[in-house]
Amino acid sequence: MKWTIGRALASAVIGVIGLSGPAAAQEMWLGPTHGGSVALEVSHVHFSEPDLGATQSSTSAVYFLTARIPVWTRTALVLELPAANGSFSYSGDFGYESMSDFAIGNPYVGVEGGQRGGNWFGEFGVRLPIMSESKPASALVGLSNDLDRVEAFMPDVAAVSAFLNGRSGGDTGFRVRLRVGPLVDIPTKSDMGHAELYGVYAFQVGAASKGVEIFAGLTGRMIVTEDVDNRLMDQFVASLHLNLGRVEPGVDIRVPLDNGRQDVVGSVFGLSLRMAF
């Protein structure tokens, strides 16, 4: 067979994670918000099809539904539900073949809090391991979508993250945001090896004027618990959002920068819609 989901999935996992095991929290590219909100993100992965050995259907997509719910004056509950639809066609042993499936990923439950009106805030959250092992096409699409949220589509893996964020800039003008912290991936099966520790980092710059917000920057991670040649994995992200009061539509693009992921993924294009309450 020219192409199999298993081989492509293995390539994607190795490229994204850099190891045979998995690789965080909620999306930081939707722009700042201080109240309650609900957001829907839809992304399409553009694979490097000559290397992948298959053609992806236009119906393949990754979805994130996120709710930010204020619970105290300085604290918010963050809930995120990921899902993916994968559909591919390829030349097999018996001619033209196809494979498609839909999967619910590993949901994120976390809290976000900090000094009111301050420049620093923290995030703490967990990913619950409910992703099915029998959804290879959706897993491939989900794993390739976003370096920051790879574990949303890793079967049999729970993740715990704790990030410190620093930001500057008001409602208009130039803005800067930093995010650093640890991420731990915990296998739920004994034959999957030990837990892995990553150092996660992100740098974002942007500007806002007359209801338009533009952001660009780098996000990445470094594997701490394994001795490998390529410890760093990075991606470039750019986004544009329109602030229309309580409604905020946006677009973004993600491009992998590390060689492993570039062999499989060309770019990722996404649309988002956030509504404040």
Q: What is the pLDDT along the chain (277 residues), one digit of tens a residue?
A: 444 544 455 444 444 444 433 334 556 777 667 689 999 999 999 987 665 667 889 999 999 999 999 998 889 999 999 999 999 887 777 777 888 999 999 999 999 998 766 789 999 999 999 999 999 999 999 999 999 999 999 999 999 999 999 988 765 589 899 999 999 999 999 888 899 999 999 999 999 888 899 999 999 999 999 888 888 999 999 999 999 989 999 999 999 998 878 888 999 999 999 999 8
CATH of domain 5-267: 2.40.128
Q: Residue 117 has what pLDDT?
A: 63
Between CA 166 and CA 130 the distance in angstroms is: 32
| H or E segment to which residue 97 belongs | strand 95-104
Q: What is the pLDDT of residues 89-125, one digit of tens each?
A: 877 777 778 889 999 999 999 999 987 667 899 999 9
Under a CB-based contact definition with an 8 Å cutoff, are residues 115 and 121 in contact? Answer: yes
Q: What is the pLDDT of residues 177-215, one digit of tens each?
A: 999 999 999 999 988 889 999 999 999 999 988 889 999
Between CA 239 and CA 224 the distance in angstroms is: 30
- The domains of the chain are located at 5-267
Q: How many helices (H) and strands (E) does the chain have?
A: 4, 14
Whole-Å CA distances, 263 to 10, 53, 117, 146, 229: 12, 12, 43, 15, 17
Q: Residue 91 has what pLDDT?
A: 76
Residues 172, 235, 103: CA angle, nearest 5 degrees: 100
Those residues whose C-beta lies under 8 Å from the C-beta of residue 104, and which sit 6 or more positions away, are: 81, 82, 83, 130, 131, 132
Query: What tokens were used for 48?
Result: 């490097």
Q: Residue 22 has what pLDDT?
A: 36
Whole-Å CA distances, 191 to 134, 188, 205: 18, 9, 42
Q: Residue 116 has what pLDDT?
A: 64
